[in-house]
């Protein structure tokens, strides 16, 4: 039985931990590795250090069953899954040191016949030019005695436990045999289809998915800026244009956040700076949207002596507590730094914030002169329109 294989997962974050817990639930013996001793301790106590619906239940069950254990150092296993962060560093260049360190960390325990799977979102040719050479230096023949494959994660934060099982997966092998070995493993817990390709195509597929979304959101954001100049309602414009059977414009917003869509397109730009012109421009358009919103708040504030500004939403998207790369957070910081008025924040998904005074929705709605909607959380959708009427409303998401 394939599920008798021992799995070692490197990186117990938003991808590594859910994957470990699901695989343990399927019967695999899973050892999770993290460089942070606190994370290791938390997981070994059956608890979690990140927020994701249902993840706590899976981890508790996996640890109690004895099939999930966490440690600081890798041990011998049949399969190694690398799920460490790949952010960008200065100059928007991919920071690959975590992938390199994880690969180096497994070399002392690797044995011929093992399978190494990279799940981290990575620049094209990472398997070939980063992982392969590290394994070679350790005395292995990648693709021959150590199988190497890339299987990019594609789960949506907030839906991870369902999507990690149900989504289709793309698996790219350094060699066809590597991909087949990885297919056997994912086939045990993925109910979506598994598509096989080479490792570099798989790396690009993931980057292209997120760039596709970024470019399309940039189009919507650019329209929202054009509509301001033309004094048009962008929401009505998009609604009408989307009636066309082949048009499907996404929603403008305060900008693009999260640790994926705002980051991954830069990996393509870095790999092909001359060619990736549209992808780069989309990033610039989306990154400029928070400034545009701040300017609008500034213009509104100038109409008051001492305006009270109510910021609604801080997270990077609706109905979650994740603040990573959040455009709303950027905007709130700017409003506060530039002292545009007395600012309060309403964010129903977090209890407190070091930099801002949080206020309950209705109280802030009554108190504020300027209402700025930055995240379309479900709690904000049914606000009393009568309360909004006398206020200056800047609804960046078009929910009112």
Give the nearest residue (CB) to ligand SAJ: 260
Tracing tokens 């991808």 back to the chain, one arrives at: 15
Residue numbers 253-282 binding ligand SAJ by CB under 6 A: 253, 256-258, 260-261
Residue 218 structure tokens? 């940039």
As measured in angstroms, the least distance from the Cβ of 221 to ligand SAJ is: 7
Q: Does 157 bind ligand SAJ (CB under 6 A)?
A: yes
As measured in angstroms, the least distance from the Cβ of 330 to ligand SAJ is: 11
In angstroms, rounded to a whole number, what is the distance separating the alpha carbons of residues 345 and 334? 13
Q: Does 209 bind ligand SAJ (CB under 6 A)?
A: yes
Among 8, 155, 215, 293, binds ligand SAJ (CB under 6 A): 155
Query: One symbol per residue from 216 to 255: x for binding ligand SAJ (CB under 6 A), - otherwise; what is it?
Result: -x--------------------------------xx-x--
Strand order of the sheet with strand 194-198? 68-71, 29-33, 6-10, 79-82, 115-118, 147-150, 169-173, 194-198
Q: Does 30 bind ligand SAJ (CB under 6 A)?
A: no
* Helical ranges in the chain per DSSP H: 16-25, 37-44, 55-64, 97-106, 126, 132-137, 160-166, 176-186, 199-230, 234-241, 264-271, 277-301, 327-337, 361-367, 378-381, 385-388
Angle subtended at Cα 373 by Cα 371 and Cα 377, rounded to the nearest 5 degrees: 135
Decide if 272 is catalytic.
Answer: no
As measured in angstroms, the least distance from the Cβ of 338 to ligand SAJ is: 22
Among 316, 344, 356, 380, binds ligand SAJ (CB under 6 A): 316
Q: Exactly one of 260, 289, 330, 397 is catalytic; which is it?
A: 260
In angstroms, rounded to a whole number, what is the distance separating the alpha carbons of residues 89 and 110? 30
Decide if 306 is catalytic.
Answer: no
In angstroms, rounded to a whole number, what is the distance separating the alpha carbons of residues 18 and 36? 17
As measured in angstroms, the least distance from the Cβ of 236 to ligand SAJ is: 16
Beta carbons of 253 and 396 less than 8 angstroms apart: yes
Residue 140 structure tokens? 């292995």
Give phi and psi for 316, each to the nearest 5: -80, -15
Stretch that binds ligand SAJ, among 139-147, 152-160, 277-285, 355-363 (CB under 6 A): 152-160
Q: Does 396 bind ligand SAJ (CB under 6 A)?
A: no
Residue numbers 291-310 binding ligand SAJ by CB under 6 A: none
Beta carbons of 82 and 118 less than 8 angstroms apart: yes
Q: Does 160 bind ligand SAJ (CB under 6 A)?
A: no
Q: Does 213 bind ligand SAJ (CB under 6 A)?
A: yes
Q: Which of 51, 47, 23, 49 is nearest to 36 (CA)?
A: 49
Among 57, 89, 104, 156, binds ligand SAJ (CB under 6 A): 156
In angstroms, rounded to a whole number, what is the distance separating the alpha carbons of residues 263 and 207? 9
Query: One symbol per residue from 105 to 144: x for binding ligand SAJ (CB under 6 A), - otherwise; what is it?
Result: ----------------x-----------------------
Q: Exactly one of 206, 280, 289, 330 is catalytic; which is it?
A: 206
Beta carbons of 122 and 150 less than 8 angstroms apart: yes
Q: With respect to ligand SAJ, which residue has the nearer C-beta, 304 or 349?
A: 349
Binding-site ranges for ligand SAJ (CB under 6 A):
121, 153-157, 209-210, 213, 217, 250-251, 253, 256-258, 260-261, 316-317
- Residues involved in catalysis: 206, 260
């Amino acid at each position: 039985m394939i599920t008798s294989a021992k799995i070692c997962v490197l990186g117990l974050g938003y991808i590594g931990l859910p994957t470990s817990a699901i695989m343990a639930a399927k019967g695999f013996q899973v050892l999770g590795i993290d460089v942070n001793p606190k994370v290791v301790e938390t997981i070994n106590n059956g608890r979690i250090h990140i927020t994701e619906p249902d993840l706590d239940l899976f981890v508790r069950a996996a640890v109690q069953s004895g099939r999930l254990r966490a440690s600081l150092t890798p041990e011998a296993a049949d399969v190694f899954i690398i799920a460490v962060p790949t952010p960008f560093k200065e100059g928007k260049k991919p920071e690959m040191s975590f992938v390199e360190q994880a690969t180096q960390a497994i070399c002392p325990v690797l044995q011929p016949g093992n399978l190494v799977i990279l799940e981290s979102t990575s620049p094209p040719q990472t398997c070939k030019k980063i992982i392969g050479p590290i394994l070679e230096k350790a005395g292995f023949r990648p693709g021959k005695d150590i199988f190497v494959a890339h299987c990019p994660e594609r789960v949506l934060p907030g839906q991870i436990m369902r999507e990690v099982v149900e989504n289709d997966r793309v698996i790219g092998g350094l060699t066809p045999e590597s991909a087949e070995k990885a297919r056997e493993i994912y086939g045990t817990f993925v109910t979506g289809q598994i598509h096989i390709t080479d490792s570099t195509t798989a790396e690009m597929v993931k980057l292209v998915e997120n760039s596709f979304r970024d470019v399309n959101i940039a189009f919507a954001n650019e329209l929202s800026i054009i509509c301001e100049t033309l004094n048009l309602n962008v929401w009505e414009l998009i609604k009408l244009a989307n009636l066309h059977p082949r048009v499907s414009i996404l929603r403008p917003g305060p900008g693009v956040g999260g640790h994926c869509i705002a980051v991954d397109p830069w990996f393509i730009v870095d790999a092909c700076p001359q060619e990736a012109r549209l992808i780069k421009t989309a990033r610039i358009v989306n990154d400029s949207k928070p400034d545009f919103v701040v300017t609008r708040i500034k213009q509104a504030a100038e109409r008051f002596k001492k305006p009270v500004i109510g910021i609604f939403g801080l997270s990077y998207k609706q109905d979650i507590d994740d603040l990573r790369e959040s455009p709303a957070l950027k905007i709130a910081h700017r409003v506060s730094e530039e002292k545009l008025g007395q600012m309060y924040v309403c964010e129903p998904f977090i209890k407190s914030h070091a930099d801002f005074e949080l206020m309950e929705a209705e109280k802030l709605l009554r108190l504020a002169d300027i209402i700025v909607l930055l995240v379309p959380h479900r709690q904000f959708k049914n606000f009393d329109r009568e309360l909004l009427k006398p206020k200056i409303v800047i609804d960046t998401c078009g929910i009112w």
